[in-house]
Amino acid sequence: MQYSIGIDIGGTNSVMGIVDKMGNILFEAELITKDYEHLEGFVDASYDELFPQIVKLGKNNFKGIGIGAPNGNYYNGTIEFAPNLRWKGVLPLAKLFSDKFGLETTVTNDANAAAIGEMMHGAAKGMNDFIMVTLGTGVGSGFVANGKMIYGHDGFAGELGHVIAVRDGRLCGCGRKGCLETYTSATGIVRTANEFLETKSTSSLLRSVANITSKDIYDAAVQGDFLALEIFQFTGKILGQSLADAVAITSPEAIILFGGLAQAGKYIFEPTHKYMEENLLKIYQGKVKLLPSELRESDAAILGAASLIWNADKVLV
């Protein structure tokens, strides 16, 4: 068997593709997730996109389907109460896909899928112990320890984005206060920018920007804008402190940062590394690499999901 299918279900868009064992994406398609009122309709539309290609390549050459989805549960193949999807409740995602396609289907959450993709094709190649942190609209994470993805007893292990970084801090979408996600996601850094602009009198390029985005903050930092640099320092401090805590749990060889905010390069990596080191227990100091993802942003989601299938025996449980 030479091919697998990778599907990444996102709140707005979903991408899917056919991937060979070397990690080459042979075919790609995209669906607007929000267009589908019911999950069944989404499965049918995915089938219409992919099936002609499956027939062309020979169905017997396909090992299966890997899906990364918000709140995807590896054990049950379900998605459960995903806040950003129209489809509510607990839904049998893997079963619907395997019934429709006649192919074995594996599900996990998007950050775990990214971690497995990184281990097969990216910065974590050959590593047995690492933490993948995705800094996107939210903050996700996948923990690999002793060569295995950690799923926990219910399939939901590794939610670093919802570990409390600041006691009684900002209100999070999950209903609690001070989650890491409210500070170090793309939306979190924008909240910081708006707070700083309101409470500080420093002049800044950002003062003339309406509806600031994380990209605006990056652009200002590149131009040496003092307030933008301060925003990155603040964000990196909170992220670095939380990563130092995470290191104490699994003692990883590396932490890999992925997603929009990670693309800010040194502006986020330097303060994050500095504050991580400052807050590490002595036994870990100078040992943990902080690395950018080596997967291309556009391919990572499909590759990671497809890798689930190749890795099912070796790494998963």
Q: Which residues bind Zn ion (CB under 5 A)?
A: 162, 172, 174, 179
**Nearest approach, Cβ of residue 148 and Zn ion (Å):** 26
Q: Nearer Cβ to Zn ion, position 189 or 280?
A: 189
Q: Nearer Cβ to Zn ion, position 169 or 292?
A: 169
**Nearest approach, Cβ of residue 283 and Zn ion (Å):** 30
Local structure of residue 164 (DSSP, 8 states)? B
Q: Nearer Cβ to Zn ion, position 31 or 172?
A: 172
Greatest alpha-carbon span in the chain:
65
**Nearest approach, Cβ of residue 105 and Zn ion (Å):** 29
Q: How many CB atoms lie within 10 A of CB 191?
A: 14
What number of helices (H) and strands (E) belong to the chain?
9, 13
Phi and psi, residue 231, nearest 5°: -65, -40
Q: What b-and-e string marks burial along 257-290, b requiring 16 or more CB atoms within 10 Å of the CB? A: bbbbbbbbeebbbebbbebbbebbeeebeeebeb
**Nearest approach, Cβ of residue 297 and Zn ion (Å):** 24
Region of 147 (left: φ > 0; alpha: ψ -120 to 50; beta: rest) is: left
Q: Nearer Cβ to Zn ion, position 126 or 175?
A: 175
**Nearest approach, Cβ of residue 178 and Zn ion (Å):** 8
Q: Nearer Cβ to Zn ion, position 157 or 254?
A: 157
